[in-house]
């Protein structure tokens, strides 16, 4: 049975509910991943966990070695990857504490190593990125969300900003005009790199706050933490339901 990869972001630097846990450092041609990988089991399914910002939560979004992270997960045998990411919301129906499964994204980042296909090429490679997230994995995730009975919406446009600062109120107005619903800092180039390596990758966003300018004069970091923790409890139920789906699909 293939392993489920989980990349944890802010608020999720460990999956405490795994059993038979061990950690292994994977070497990659792209340098060091953010963290050693944690191998374990969830209801009998192999899970491989990576802490995107490192176990001590010290690597800022623009300094993450996304190439090494995705490579390491593939090398370790993760066929599916659920990328967990905390986000701000600019859509009234996606409130703090909710889980959302985006189906589209817009990339506003710059200066990040965003492809495996740049050196020593025999020919240019342009992957199709019309649908940035795996359709099949998203279907399983949507079913899992319904089974886990967690409040979740399954269509949203995710804006990936450069960070590490949060946005200005005017930037959020622009992102809304662009058609974005959620804003975070780590979704790209992660999604594109996973697609280049032909992995089934999809995003589970945990809404931590209303985006800049939508709820008062400034964003309260304590409130972000509280909403992210509420979302992470739902995530646990969701992941349990997801491994059931994976078992069913493979039996
Ligand atoms: N903006 C960008 N990234 C985020 C936010 C936000 O408001 N909240 C959590 N991650």
pLDDT tens across 134-173, in order? 999 999 999 999 999 887 799 999 999 999 999 999 999 9
Ligand 1 centroid – CA 198 distance (Å) = 28
Confidence band (pLDDT; 50, 70, 90) for 201? very high
What is the distance between the alpha carbons of residues 251 and 249, in angstroms, rounded to a whole number? 6
Ligand 1 centroid – CA 160 distance (Å) = 9
pLDDT tens across 163-176, in order? 999 999 999 999 99
- Give the structural domain span for 133: 3-250
Ligand 1 centroid – CA 14 distance (Å) = 20
Instruction: Choose one of 209, 212, 216, 227 to mutate for the ligand 1 pocket test, by most ligand atoms within 8 angstroms of C-beta.
Output: 209
What is the distance between the alpha carbons of residues 88 and 167, in angstroms, rounded to a whole number? 10
Domain total in the chain: 1
Residue 198, sorted as left (phi over 0), alpha (psi -120 to 50) or beta, turns out to be left
Confidence band (pLDDT; 50, 70, 90) for 30? very high
- Cβ neighbors of 54 (< 8 A, separation 6 or more) are 13, 34, 35
Percent of the chain with pLDDT over 70: 100
Confidence band (pLDDT; 50, 70, 90) for 14? confident
Instruction: Choose one of 8, 52, 224 to mutate for the ligand 1 pocket test, by most ligand atoms within 8 angstroms of C-beta.
Output: 224
Q: What is the pTM of this model?
A: 0.95
pLDDT tens across 54-87, in order? 988 899 999 999 999 999 999 999 999 999 999 9
CATH number for the domain including 146?
3.40.50.1580
Instruction: Quote the tokens at residue 234.
Output: 């739902």
Query: Which residues form ligand 1's pocket by a CB distance below 6 Å?
Result: 86-88, 161, 166-167, 183-185, 208-209, 211
pLDDT of residue 185: 97
Instruction: Using the CB atoms, write b or e for 25-43: b if 16+ within 10 Å.
Output: ebebebeebbbbbbbbebe
Which residue has the least CA distance to atom 2 on ligand 1? 184
Average pLDDT across the chain, whole number? 94
- Predicted confidence (pLDDT) at residue 1 exceeds the cutoff of 80: no
pLDDT tens across 93-119, in order? 999 999 999 999 999 999 999 999 998
- Please give the residue that has the higher pLDDT: either 90 or 15: 90
């Amino acid at each position: 049975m293939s392993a489920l990869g989980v990349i944890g972001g802010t608020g999720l630097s460990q999956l405490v509910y795994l059993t038979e846990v061990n950690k292994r450092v994977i070497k990659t041609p792209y340098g060091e991943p953010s963290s050693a990988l944690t191998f374990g089991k969830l209801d009998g399914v192999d899970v491989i966990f990576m802490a995107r910002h490192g176990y001590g939560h010290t690597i800022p979004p623009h300094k993450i070695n996304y190439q090494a992270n995705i490579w390491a997960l593939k090398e370790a045998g993760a066929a599916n990857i659920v990328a967990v990411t905390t986000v701000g919301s600019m859509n009234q129906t996606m409130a703090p504490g909710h889980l959302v499964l985006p189906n589209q994204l817009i990339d506003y980042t710059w200066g990040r190593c965003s492809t495996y296909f740049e050196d020593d090429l025999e020919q240019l490679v342009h992957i199709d990125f019309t649908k940035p997230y795996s359709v099949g994995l998203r279907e399983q995730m949507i079913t899992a969300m319904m089974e886990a009975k967690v409040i979740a919406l399954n269509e949203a446009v995710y804006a990936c900003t450069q960070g590490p600062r949060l946005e200005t109120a005017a930037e959020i107005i622009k992102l809304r005009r662009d058609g974005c619903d959620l804003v975070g800092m780590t979704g790209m180039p992660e999604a594109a790199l996973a697609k280049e390596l032909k992995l089934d990758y999809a995003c589970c966003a945990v809404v931590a706050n209303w985006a800049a300018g939508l709820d008062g004069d400034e964003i309260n970091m304590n409130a972000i933490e509280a909403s992210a923790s509420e979302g992470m409890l739902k995530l646990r139920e969701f992941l349990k339901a997801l491994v059931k789906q994976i078992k069913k699909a493979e039996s």
